Chain A
Amino acid sequence: MKKRIVLVIVLVIIVVFITFVVCLKVNGITDVNELVLDDISVTESENKITLKGEIVSSGKSYYGYAYYYKNDALFIEIKAGLITGKHKDGAFEIAIENSKVSELNAIYLKDRNNAMMIYSK
């Protein structure tokens, strides 16, 4: 009985882990080496940052982005996944409006392991 419970727990952990990793990959944060940036502009007076770029993996499309501030730097993560009817395009155009823009000294594109500086004051 005890053995069976342990087995079930182990199986559940494996299933959760695999599902978690698969979910991350199917629609996850893109490696910065898969991104090229065409344009970046920081308008302090409007507290606005705009980014324009492209995913250079030919089978991935843009899904969205997330960002966070750490000290005086902004870190942007680009989310990409497999091409679907809803998500067909690898190009992205992002506009971030935030009152902290004027305090920024650097902006990075970030994935799980790397951060690539794309703007500094």
Chain B
Amino acid sequence: MKIRYLIRKCLSSAVVLSLLIMCLGTTVSAQDENCKKNDSELNHRIYDRIIDDYILQTGLSKEQADVIFEEIASSVNISKVITSIAKDVLVIDEDAEYSENVLYIQSNYESIVDKMSDSEKYYVDKYFLASAIQYYKDFADSSEFNDAVSTTADVGFNLVEPIEMNSYDDDIEVQENEIALQPKNLTRGTTVAQVRIFADSTGESSIINTSGHAWLTIKNVSNSNITVGKFSIAPNKTIAVGTWGNKEEHNGLWYSLEPYFVHNYSTWSNRSSLLVNIDSTALATLTTYIVNHDSWSLTNNCSSFAVGGWNQICSTTLSAGVINTPTNLKNSIINTGLSSTGISVPYNYVVYYADGSNTPIRSSEF
């Protein structure tokens, strides 16, 4: 009787235990599935963001790039793909960090693939894409690939005009030999603003050049105030917008910091720029973009901000590279054959930094 009771007790315990193990297993595997799904979605989002620059740099077709991406994405772990291909990519240092190798490949792509066979180039392209995706995973802010980016800017109220400088800027609308590019085909209304994109780097002869800065300026060429980001800008005045990652007061969007440096220190003297005239619809698009981009990271840096804003409003699209850098953007600007050098950056307003949906804050440092 006692033995039977013990057997029954053991059996029921075993059943409960196996049920528990099954539940736990299901939960873990469900969590695992969720992780894989999230990871896969993130891979696709990163790929969507970098695909245009990747195609531009590698010369691959979209279909060829898609094939390489699918091969990479089908692997469980992209870092394993990077390690496994590294030995087939003859030009990189297997012992170096992948992040150094991807910047090296990007900066020297043409000379690397020159004279390579198709199969050798295939490995470079695959390594380049895999490590670029991993780079964004490792260095991008977690919010960078979130869906929750508003499509319209909340700029309809509490607009203020920033404090003006007693500046010495020119009031020339188009400077000598400067060519105005065609705006993107949104609408073709009356021109209300001139937008310039600027980029400069120190032209280091090194293989990796992460120096420099890129930004946008917006000049009001209408007869009434216009909205730029969170500010109301007076006729014939210019405001600069750019993102910064090395300023103690704020990490992200700054207003008028670039003219402060140009005016006080003559910085970026070899800056290259392009110009586009835009109407009020395009300006609203740009303002929405500016308001939604108060952030900075290694993968979403000043060149990402400037090129992203520019490509929203101009028919001549630019690239800042797969891993965005000011050097790549400057090269892209120059490669249009329509760029100008050393165009002035009027210092019309004092320096502010963005503060989310609130009015920007006057810098106490600059």
Contact = CB atoms under 8 A, between A and B. Distances in A.
Contacts of B202: 31, 33-34, 57
Most chain A CB within 10 A, of B104, B202, B246, is at B246
Interface string B191-220: 000000000011010111111110000000
B246 A88 contact: yes
A23 to B, nearest CB: 9
B252 to A, nearest CB: 11
| Residue among B104, B245, B296 with the highest chain A CB neighbour number at 10 A | B245
Contacts of B265: 36, 56
A5 interface: no
Contact of B302 (A33, A58, A61): A58
Interface string A1-30: 000000000000011001101101110001
A90 B213 CA distance: 13
Contacts of B104: 18, 22
A39 B245 CA distance: 23
Contact of B246 (A14, A36, A55): A55
Given A82-B298, A88-B246, A91-B248, A19 B211 contact: no
A15 B267 CA distance: 36
A56 B93 CA distance: 31
18 contacts: A15-B94, A18-B93, A18-B96, A22-B104, A25-B210, A26-B100, A33-B267, A36-B264, A36-B265, A56-B213, A57-B201, A57-B210, A57-B326, A58-B244, A59-B301, A59-B325, A83-B298, A88-B248
Interface string B230-271: 000000000000111111100000000000010011011100
Contacts of B302: 58-59
Contact of A36 (B211, B267, B298): B267
Interface string A75-119: 000000011000011110000000000000000000000000000
B213 A31 contact: no
What 5 A-B pairs are tightest by C-beta distance, nearest first?
A: A90-B246, A31-B202, A36-B265, A58-B302, A58-B244
A88 to B, nearest CB: 7
B211 A34 contact: yes
Contacts of B296: 58
Contacts of B245: 58-59, 61, 83, 88
A14 B89 CA distance: 13
Contacts of B207: 21-22, 25
Given A22-B93, A36-B261, A58-B243, 13 more contacts: A15-B93, A15-B95, A19-B96, A22-B100, A30-B211, A57-B202, A58-B296, A59-B246, A60-B211, A82-B210, A89-B247, A90-B247, A91-B246
A115 B245 CA distance: 27
A26 B96 CA distance: 12
A60 B242 CA distance: 15
A61 B94 CA distance: 27
A78 to B, nearest CB: 12
Contact of B211 (A31, A62, A88, A89): A31
Interface of B: 92-96, 100, 104, 201-202, 204, 206-213, 242-248, 261, 264-265, 267-269, 296, 298, 301-302, 325-326
Residue of B95, B212, B269, B296 ringed by the most chain A CB atoms within 10 A = B212
A19 B94 CA distance: 10
B258 to A, nearest CB: 9
A87 B173 CA distance: 41
B97 to A, nearest CB: 8
B242 A22 contact: no
A56 B270 CA distance: 14
A105 B247 CA distance: 33
A61 B301 CA distance: 14
Contacts of A56: 213, 261, 265, 267-268
Nearest to A18: B93
Contacts of B201: 57
A83 B246 contact: yes
A114 B297 CA distance: 30
Contacts of B95: 15, 19
